[in-house]
Structure 1
Amino acid sequence: MDLTLLYRGPLASCDYDCPYCPFAKRRDSREQLRADRASLERFADWAGGRTEDRLSVLFTPWGEGLVRSWYRRALTELSHQPHIRRVAIQTNLSCRTDWLADADRDTLALWCTYHPGQTPYDRFLGKCRELERLGVRYSVGIVGLPEHLDAARRLRAELPERVYLWVNAAEGRTYDDAEAGVWTGIDPLFPYSRHPHASAGLPCRTGESVISVDGEGTVRRCHFVPAELGNLYDGSYRAALRPRPCPLTSCDCHIGYVHLETLPLYDVFAGGVLERIPAAVE
Structure 2
Amino acid sequence: MDLTLLYRGPLASCDYDCPYCPFAKRRDTPEQLRADRAALERFADWAATRTGDTLSVLLTPWGEGLVRSWYRDAMVRLSRLPHIRRVAIQTNLSCRTDWLAGADLDTLALWCTYHPGQTPYDRFLAKAHDLAARGVRFSVGVVGLPDHLEHARRLRADLPARVYLWVNAAEGHTYTDAQAASWTELDPLFPYSRHPHRSGGLPCRTGESVVSVDGDGTVRRCHFVRAELGNLYDDSFRAALRPRTCPLAVCDCHIGYVHLETLPLYDVFAGGVLERIPADAPSPRVPQGLGTPGRY
**What range is the shorter-chain TM-score in?**
over 0.9
Q: 1:31 aligns to what SS in structure 2?
A: helix
Q: Percent identity?
A: 82
Q: 2:225 aligns to what SS in structure 1?
A: coil
- Structure 1 residues 130-164: Cα deviation after superposition (integer angstroms, max 9, x where no partner): 10111100000000001101110011111111100
Number of matched pairs: 282
Name the structure 2 match of 1:167: 167
Output the CA distance in 2 between the equivalents of 1:23 and 1:195: 20
Q: Structure 2 matches for 1:247-258, cutoff 5 A? A: 247-258=247-258
Output the CA distance in 2 between the equivalents of 1:167 and 1:258: 14
Q: Structure 2 matches for 1:193-272, cutoff 5 A? A: 193-272=193-272
Name the amino acid aligned to 1:211. Answer: V
Q: Structure 2 matches for 1:1-282, cutoff 5 A? A: 1-23=1-23, 26-281=26-281
Q: 1:185 aligns to what SS in structure 2?
A: helix
Q: 1:239 aligns to what SS in structure 2?
A: helix
Name the amino acid aligned to 1:116. Answer: P
Greater Cα shift, 134-143 or 14-23: 14-23
Q: Could you tell me whether the CA contact under 8 Å between 1:143 and 1:168 is conserved in 2? A: yes
Output the CA distance in 1 between the equivalents of 2:200 and 2:57: 26
- State the TM-score, normalized to the length of structure 2: 0.94
- 1:23, distance to aligned residue in structure 2 (A): 4.2
Q: Could you tell me whether the CA contact under 8 Å between 2:24 and 2:62 is conserved in 1? A: no
Structure 1 segments (4+ residues) deviating >3 Å: 22-25
Q: 1:104 aligns to what SS in structure 2?
A: coil
Q: 1:6 aligns to what SS in structure 2?
A: strand
Taking a change above 3 Å as real, the CA distance of residues 25 and 237 of structure 1, as seen in their structure-2 partners, is closer
Q: Could you tell me whether the CA contact under 8 Å between 1:218 and 1:230 is conserved in 2? A: yes
- Structure 1 residues 174-201: Cα deviation after superposition (integer angstroms, max 9, x where no partner): 1010000000000000000000000000
Q: Could you tell me whether the CA contact under 8 Å between 1:13 and 1:23 is conserved in 2? A: no
Output the CA distance in 1 between the equivalents of 2:113 and 2:263: 24
Q: Could you tell me whether the CA contact under 8 Å between 1:78 and 1:87 is conserved in 2? A: yes
- State the TM-score, normalized to the length of structure 1: 0.99
